[in-house]
Structure 1
Amino acid sequence: MKFGMRTPSIKKSVSARTTGRAKRAVKSAINPAYGKKGTGLITNPSKSVKNSVYHKTTKSVRSLFK
């Protein structure tokens, strides 16, 4: 498990803001449960727990400037 700062990636950041945004909009329009809080725990519990620990133990570079 990683502790501390996350490694920044410009490529992933741009992808998340463009392509990912369009895909999420389509999925959300089709599936009413998509993107709601707590659904990750139902679909894949182990991944959900690992992600929650990761997000609590690391910080992004952007959080330094806020």
Structure 2
Amino acid sequence: MKFGIRKPSIRKSIAARTSPTRIIKNKLGLRMPRGWGWLTDPKKALYNRVYNRTSFSIFDLIKKLFK
């Protein structure tokens, strides 16, 4: 589990936004509403919840500086 600052990867963020699976799910309307990840994959949802609360991004720091 990661604690502290996350290192952003531009390549991975672009790949995630342009993946064929994401495009197909969006076109067919197979997405669940936000916050329903615990229903589809509870183990992954719990991991993501802890991860997002214990780590932060460089972009989060920049937002706080210019707020």
TM-score, normalisation: structure 2: 0.72
1:12 aligned partner: 12
Structure 1: which 5+ runs fail to align?
none
Backbone CA RMSD of aligned residues: 2.0
Structure 2: which 5+ runs fail to align?
none
2:54 aligned partner: 57
Q: 1:5 touches 1:58 (CA, 8 Å); kept in 2? A: yes
State the identity %. 43
The size of the alignment, in residue pairs, is 63
TM-score, normalisation: structure 1: 0.73
Q: Where in structure 1 do 4 or more consecutive aligned residues deviate above 6 Å?
A: none
